[in-house]
Amino acid sequence: MLDKLEIFESRYEELSAKLCDPDVASSAEKYTAAVKELKTVEPVALKYREYKNCRQELSQTRELISEEDDPQMRSLAQEEAAELEKRIASLEEELRILLLPKDPNDDRNVIIEIRAGAGGEEAALFAAVLYRMYSMYAVKKGWKTELVNVNDTGLGGYKEISFMITGAGAYSRLKFESGVHRVQRVPETETQGRIHTSTVTVAVLPEAEDVELNIDPADLKIDTFRSSGAGGQHINKTESAIRITHLPTGLVVECQDERSQYKNKDKAMKVLRSRLLEAEREKQQGMVAAERRQQVGTGDRSERIRTYNYPQGRVTDHRIGLTLYRIEDILNGDPDEIIDALIAADRARQLEENEN
């Protein structure tokens, strides 16, 4: 581990010097690349420097203990040494985590697709609840939310809704949300007070960059149609909505949120690229041996990952066995406790794999 850390510190010094180089500073491409790499290297290098400083302080304190004749001073030095040992152990754990392979998608924006599953109108209503939860969470994180496509039921629910969340680290926080979300509650239409169980599927896709996929225009069938839903005369008169079919895979993407046909096409292409990239990622994961698959899933849409039980006020994440009795807070845009626990479980799995 120390050899790796030395490399990080050396690279940090190189990049810091490079940013002061006039040749690099005058080139937007070189400067941006250096800043991007520095952002990755800096946390490890600075943490390693803190670790080395603590080790040096501990060494000096131990020398003082061995040389000090005054019992009171020796006792104080021993207490200081004990605190330094605890801090060093903590720093070693932090450094192990920092050295774990980083998901290359973690800093990307995301496209979230929510679809009503079993449960009819009740499932559609809960799809709207989840959309509200993610939208409120995005606001708290300072992220931007943009609707891509909505297929509503007319009663406040969504058969399907897709939207983009733009912001630093969006995918790293939301990637574990993919899967089946189950809700247990008494619907407003239920006269006898019986609890119904409904499901909603959530897919979280990292936004694909243009350079990652070469999509042949000949492979696309693009149709225009009139938007549905509220919007006044414009919706009734203008065919601004876009439907793109990727002929080789049969993937279909629709976008009707914008009034501009061009903007709808641009958004639809972003979703299509992300879906194709995700399909390729899932194909690669399928080649991995079963025993090495992640215990905390990030892409299996058939996996029941979480249950929201309204009568008991609890939310249970089945992947890590976590139950919290604060359903109202979570659905009001505060799922951080669950997300933090999922990230910690995934890191623990990676650390265990590295040790084995």
Summary mean pLDDT of the chain? 85
252 bridge partner residues: 245
Quick check: 205 and 113 in contact, CB under 8 A?
yes
Residue 306: band (very low, low, confident or very high) from pLDDT cuts 50, 70, 90: very high
Q: Which is nearest to 86 in space by CA: 126, 125, 119, 58?
A: 58
Packed helices 71-98 and 28-67: angle between N→C axes, nearest 10 degrees: 150
* Tens of pLDDT, residues 86-113: 999 999 988 988 888 787 888 889 999 9
State pTM to two decimals.
0.69
205 bridge partner residues: 111
* Tens of pLDDT, residues 153-163: 888 899 999 99
Q: What are phi and psi of 105, to 5 degrees?
A: -90, -5
Residue with token string 């021993």: 78
Residue 263: band (very low, low, confident or very high) from pLDDT cuts 50, 70, 90: confident
* Tens of pLDDT, residues 4-32: 899 989 999 999 999 998 988 888 888 98
pLDDT of 77: 92
- Which whole number is the average pLDDT over 320-337? 96
pLDDT of 355: 66
Write down the H helix ranges in the chain: 2-18, 22-25, 28-67, 71-98, 121-141, 170-174, 233-237, 261-286, 327-331, 336-355
Q: Which is nearest to 320 in space by CA: 302, 347, 286?
A: 347
Q: Which is nearest to 181 in space by CA: 111, 251, 134?
A: 134
- Which whole number is the average pLDDT over 186-203? 85
CATH number of 107-356: 3.30.70.1660
The fold adopted by the segment(s) 2-98 is Methane Monooxygenase Hydroxylase; Chain G, domain 1 (1.20.58)
Q: Is 166 exposed, middle or buried (0-12, 13-18, 19+ CB in 10 A)?
A: middle
Q: Where are the domains of the chain?
A: 2-98, 107-356
pLDDT of 171: 94
Quick check: 253 and 243 in contact, CB under 8 A?
yes
Half-sphere exposure (Cβ direction) of 287: Cα atoms closer than 13 Å: 5
150 bridge partner residues: 161
CA 60 to chain CA centroid, nearest Å: 43
Q: Choose between 188 and 306: higher pLDDT.
A: 306
